[in-house]
Amino acid sequence: MATIGRKNVHGKGGVRFKAGFDASKRKSMLRTLVSDLIVHEKLQVTLSTARDLSALADRMITYGKKGDLSARRQAARFVRDIWADEKNKVTALQKLFNDLAPRYKDRNGGYTRILKLENRRGDNAPMALVMFVK
């Protein structure tokens, strides 16, 4: 039976707009991924997400290298409040400022590395591995 009105992607009639993956959802996803990258020090994501993630992670390391109260507050606005080591009661923010930032004190940028991987099996999306440089 023919539908009246605009059609959505799946042919459902009468639907004006799809539920979008808007900017706030993308920012929320990137906040979570940056926090997970700080905790695990490497992540496997899609290539486009990896490029955004790398830039944000480099910015967080720069905040960590500054080390003052203002930089800590700016990083705390972005990094999620999750445990990096629950046994020793270390959060992701503490790991960023106490472990990761001193590691790069002599390095001027380029704290992350992106390695391309095989495409994902389900949808053939290009995948990448984001990791901190040793």
- What does R_g of the chain's alpha carbons equal in angstroms? 19
The helix/strand/coil state of 49 is helix
70 in a structural domain: yes
What is residue 20's predicted lDDT score, i.e. its pLDDT? Answer: 75
| 116 in a structural domain | yes
Residue 46 structural domain: 23-132
Bridge partner list, 91: 83
31 is a domain residue = yes
Q: What are the residue ranges of helices labelled H in 1-134?
A: 23-40, 47-66, 69-78, 92-95, 101-103
Q: What is the mean pLDDT of each run of 10 residues along the chain (134 residues)?
A: 60 63 93 98 98 98 98 98 97 98 97 98 97 96
CATH number, residue 52: 3.90.1030.10
Q: What is the pLDDT of residue 22?
A: 86
pTM: 0.85
Beta bridge partners of 44: 129
